[in-house]
Structure 1
Amino acid sequence: MARDVWNAGADVLIVQDMGLLELDLPPIQLHASTQTDIRTPEKARFLQDVGFSQIVLARELTLEQIRDIHGALDAERCKLEFFVHGALCVAYSGQCYISHAHTGRSANRGDCSQACRLPYHVTDAQGRFIAHDKHVLSMKDNNQSANLAALVDAGVRSFKIEGRYKDMGYVKNITAHYRKLLDELVEAREGSGRPLARASSGRATFTFTPDPDQNFNREFTDYFVNGRQDDIGAFDSPKNPGQAIGWVTRVGPNWVELECADTRTLLHNGDGLCYYDLQKELVGMAINRAEPAGKPGRWRVFPKDPVADFRDLRKGTQVNRNRDMSWVRVLEKKSSDRRIRVWAEFAETADGFSLALTDEDGHVGSAALPHVKEPVREAARNEASLREQLGRFGSTIFEPLDIRLRLSRPWFVPASLLNALRRDAVAALEATRAKAYQRPVRAAAVEPPVPYPEDTLSYLANVFNQKAHDFYRKHGVQVVDAAYESHEEEGEVSLMITKHCVR
């Protein structure tokens, strides 16, 4: 399968199972998954030395720990990747076995049943309730928007966004949000002693203003990046609470009247509202129809479900909105554009004209066509027309940064010739870019094989096959226990390793 993936054009394999390194792999670059539980400089250095070019760190690390890991690596050989947004597992990735124990579905195989999102009773040694029917293992969502500069300075060079089961609107919004933040950071560092360079070509523009609060989230936390925080859990509900918009003023037989805190707030048919009942459980209320109810900011909404079924809904209840149909409709359309800037040079040749395009990465594409040279009378008007025609890159991936004319005198050039030159030059530039692309190189492992930081591995190392066993033995591990999924552990074992304290 690895070779099929390579032949299909993939550049990188993200690896958890070290047994893969014992196979005859294609020359594909290897990245270490967060499932390999990378929390220490020693573990990170080992993974670098066995051939990983990038490692995805545990989400629970602090800035200081990230800096320490970065300091232990050769930045030219191995780069750091870190999760900056999305759902958080309460356990260290690769160190949770509750799903497999309860259902046979292994989180280490991408099939987690999300037991951490369920409600639990928690009691102390005397049987007294610490928490009753609370989602004590459910974390808020990760959001490192405020920490990007600090993470870059700590050594992170790749930012990972969790997106499993997320819809297209989420992908558009969150990637746009971080794209804009990173662009601002790069621009702020220009000309400074700590300049940054983009890893990709082009600039992205958007038809909307990104807002992470608009998509599904369990409210946000930056987790442990800035040290241990008190407010990291979504203990009342693992659902999306949305944003507060107002409160209930009246409840009718089949409608509910709301007053919005901001009189400019507009409600729409299909919006999703919600509120907390007296037991602090989140209750959803999908809106079939919404209509103004008198003064600005007051609305009468007709829910899809019977009003009588909404428990504890009364005057004064705070109402949130967790789906805004106007936002949904914006993101259903084309909402972004990414263009690579080019310098264009239009020149005369012995028998006609040429157009050369040089992109921001230094690639060049050019075209030339014969044409009879005819002088024009209105030079200024002709030059403006030439620049306008040459700058029409339409639906291509390019946009003009500068257009230079190298002509001995003003010539008449028909639009059809300019269009043909531009089309051929763009095709040549695209071909040059494709030819110049080099797939990431597979890093060579250090020889002789470096020792693993420990000489004994428990089931927590997730060794599930003979090849993985052979890998660790080759690197000096004397005792290699089988993975939990092998069902070889006797007696009770820890099913979850977490930095979060339930109490």
Structure 2
Amino acid sequence: MNKPEILSPAGNLEKLKAAINFGADAVYLGGNRLNLRAFADNFTDEKLEEGIKYAHDRGKKVYVTLNVFPHNEDMIGLEEYLIKLYNMGVDAIIVSDPGIIMTAREVVPELELHLSTQANCVNWKSALYWHRQGIKRIVLARELSLEEIIELRKKLPMTCEIEAFVHGAMCVSYSGRCLLSNYLTGRDSNRGQCAQPCRYKYYIMEEKREGEYFPIFEDERGTYIMNSKDMCMIEHIPELVKAGVSSFKIEGRMKSVFYVASVTKAYRQALDAYLEDPVNYKFQQKWMDYLMKPSHRKYFTGFYFNEDNKQVLESSAYERQYDIVGTVVDYDETENRVTIEQRNKVWDSQEVEVLRPEGDNVIVTLNDMRNDNGEKIESAPAAQMIFTAVVDKKLEKNDIIIVKKEDK
């Protein structure tokens, strides 16, 4: 049976480690050049080397994005950058521009190439063309249906892998080829600077009636005609595996470490459960619960099942049931005392939930909270402060402490 990898986003080193700790087989990230998340906390060379070592020490892979549409000035120094990435040991680069692809084949011919979704590959002939240009893996456009993916897989040689997005934000433009940001803000979305104007709320103003704004309606759905729900395919793992998808890609390099950990864990558990026993596999509600807790928009299944008019959303607001309040950095078994690095305010004697890489989440109470000087405190109010608390369950380094929003 095809055994897909779980591919998670890594917007920075902390998220890379969380993705790997919570079950990712590989991560994708941006270096300091030529990636489509220019405003992410991208990796310096030093952080990238540390991240690659962390992944490789655990048998995991690192893919680096070079998926912008470069102008002439962007090509300066490309050869040196490619050689640097190759020497660092990156497992593949994600590319969309023929110029970058040609240069990579010339200067680092052994480096694996993955075709970015930005290349809008939507048919098997195009996929075969790119494969013959040295592309090992095709990252499919989000606009493909499951039927089309099945047909594409059947007509491609097995040497050509296919990767598909299974979770995360959708773009109203065709696989990200958008000019709204350029026109409205001067920030080029195709060079990594998208301001997401598709999420704005728009009105019509008639030229002779200045100041009178009329909402844009799309029947009963509201005014956000360019806004989109988030993709979620957690309930369709069997169909994706049977379709021959090589890699399940999770969107979200700009999302929180809580999002990365919780979403990765959900897809890891669901995929493992199916691969272990396909015949008796049953979807478990806890996997959806993991996905509902971090910040997200309303979920739908994208274009996979040819469902009409489901992408438009009546609001750009995120839904969020839980907040992260800290990550575990140490645990003393003799005193049952956990050391936590704070992310959001938490109180002494507060009940919290623990998101763990293995097994189900657990509930604990943070008792006898103390600061790093050992002084008793009523709360941990300062961002990234170190504090300790006594708990009644053994916790592990890298566990993530979360709390329901109304409990804060």
TM-score by length of structure 2 reads 0.54
Matched, 1:137 2:226: yes
Shift of 1:94: 4.1
Q: How far apart are the structure 2 equivalents of 1:94 and 1:44?
A: 18
Measured against aligned partners, the alpha-carbon deviations of 1:301-360 in whole angstroms (never above 9, x if no partner) come to: xxxxxxxxxxxxxxxxxxxxxxxx966x624xxx2259xxxxxxxxxxxxxxxxxxxxxx
Q: How does 1:379-418 map to 2 (within 5 A)?
A: none
Structure label with greater radius of gyration: 1
Q: In the alignment, what sits opposite 1:40?
A: 123
Q: In the alignment, what sits opposite 2:319?
A: 241
Q: How far apart are the structure 2 equivalents of 1:101 and 1:326?
A: 48
Q: In the alignment, what sits opposite 2:242?
A: 153
Q: How far apart are the structure 1 equivalents of 2:290 and 2:115?
A: 31
8 Å CA contact retained: 2:215, 2:223: no
Instruction: Name the aligned partner's letter for residue 274 of structure 2.
Output: L
Q: In the alignment, what sits opposite 1:108?
A: 190
Instruction: Name the aligned partner's letter for residue 138 of structure 1.
Output: N
Q: Secondary structure at the match of 2:227?
A: coil
Q: In the alignment, what sits opposite 1:86?
A: 168
Shift of 1:288: 9.5
Q: In the alignment, what sits opposite 1:57?
A: 140
Tell me which protein shows more strand as a share of its residues.
1
Matched, 1:189 2:278: yes
Shift of 1:159: 0.5
Q: Secondary structure at the match of 1:96?
A: coil
8 Å CA contact retained: 1:118, 1:135: yes
Measured against aligned partners, the alpha-carbon deviations of 1:222-264 in whole angstroms (never above 9, x if no partner) come to: 01101123433322x2121346xxxxxxxxxxxxxxxxxxxxx
Measured against aligned partners, the alpha-carbon deviations of 1:441-475 in whole angstroms (never above 9, x if no partner) come to: xxxxxxxxxxxxxxxxxxxxxxxxxxxxxxxxxxx
CA shift in 2, pair 1:19/1:129, >3 Å: same
8 Å CA contact retained: 1:97, 1:106: yes
8 Å CA contact retained: 2:179, 2:189: yes
Q: Secondary structure at the match of 2:163?
A: strand
Matched, 1:215 2:215: no
Residue 178 of structure 1, aligned match among 256, 267, 292:
267
Q: How far apart are the structure 2 equivalents of 1:167 and 1:8?
A: 26
CA shift in 2, pair 1:189/1:109, >3 Å: same
Q: How far apart are the structure 2 equivalents of 1:131 and 1:79?
A: 42
Measured against aligned partners, the alpha-carbon deviations of 1:169-192 in whole angstroms (never above 9, x if no partner) come to: 111100000000000110123899
Matched, 1:231 2:314: no
Measured against aligned partners, the alpha-carbon deviations of 1:391-449 in whole angstroms (never above 9, x if no partner) come to: xxxx9xxxxxxxxxxxxxxxxxxxxxxxxxxxxxxxxxxxxxxxxxxxxxxxxxxxxxx
Shift of 1:20: 1.7
Q: Secondary structure at the match of 1:189?
A: coil
Matched, 1:22 2:102: yes
Q: Secondary structure at the match of 1:69?
A: helix
Instruction: Name the aligned partner's letter for residue 86 of structure 1.
Output: G
Q: Secondary structure at the match of 1:183?
A: helix
Q: How far apart are the structure 2 equivalents of 1:191 and 1:238?
A: 39
CA shift in 2, pair 1:129/1:15, >3 Å: same
Q: How far apart are the structure 1 equivalents of 2:226 and 2:245?
A: 28
Instruction: Name the aligned partner's letter for residue 137 of structure 2.
Output: Q
CA shift in 2, pair 1:210/1:49, >3 Å: same
Aligned-pair identity in percent equals 33
CA shift in 2, pair 1:147/1:123, >3 Å: farther
Q: How far apart are the structure 1 equivalents of 2:176 and 2:288?
A: 36
Q: Secondary structure at the match of 2:246?
A: strand
Q: How does 1:66-85 map to 2 (within 5 A)?
A: 66-75=149-158, 77-85=159-167
Matched, 1:6 2:86: yes
Q: In the alignment, what sits opposite 2:26?
A: none
Q: How far apart are the structure 2 equivalents of 1:177 and 1:69?
A: 27
CA shift in 2, pair 1:28/1:238, >3 Å: same
Shift of 1:166: 1.1
TM-score by length of structure 1 reads 0.44
Q: How far apart are the structure 1 equivalents of 2:179 and 2:319?
A: 28
Q: Secondary structure at the match of 1:178?
A: helix
CA shift in 2, pair 1:122/1:156, >3 Å: farther
Q: Secondary structure at the match of 2:354?
A: helix
CA shift in 2, pair 1:73/1:5, >3 Å: same
Shift of 1:13: 0.6
Shift of 1:42: 1.7
Q: How does 1:323-472 map to 2 (within 5 A)?
A: 330-331=354-355, 335-336=356-357
Q: In the alignment, what sits opposite 2:254?
A: 165
CA shift in 2, pair 1:85/1:326, >3 Å: farther
Any stretches of 5+ residues in structure 1 without a counterpart? 193-207, 244-266, 271-286, 291-324, 339-394, 396-503
Instruction: Name the aligned partner's letter for residue 88 of structure 2.
Output: A
Q: How far apart are the structure 2 equivalents of 1:209 and 1:71?
A: 31
Q: How far apart are the structure 2 equivalents of 1:186 and 1:152?
A: 9
Q: 59-68 or 28-37, which moves further after superposition?
A: 59-68
8 Å CA contact retained: 2:86, 2:111: yes
Measured against aligned partners, the alpha-carbon deviations of 1:103-156 in whole angstroms (never above 9, x if no partner) come to: 2222222211101100113699xx996529822111111101112211221221
Q: 101-110 or 183-192, which moves further after superposition?
A: 183-192
Shift of 1:41: 1.6
Q: 18-27 or 177-186, which moves further after superposition?
A: 18-27
Q: How far apart are the structure 2 equivalents of 1:144 and 1:53?
A: 25
8 Å CA contact retained: 1:123, 1:131: no
8 Å CA contact retained: 1:122, 1:131: no
Q: How far apart are the structure 2 equivalents of 1:105 and 1:129?
A: 26
Shift of 1:69: 1.5
8 Å CA contact retained: 1:80, 1:156: yes
Q: Secondary structure at the match of 1:31?
A: strand
Q: How far apart are the structure 1 equivalents of 2:288 and 2:160?
A: 35
8 Å CA contact retained: 2:202, 2:216: no
8 Å CA contact retained: 2:91, 2:112: yes
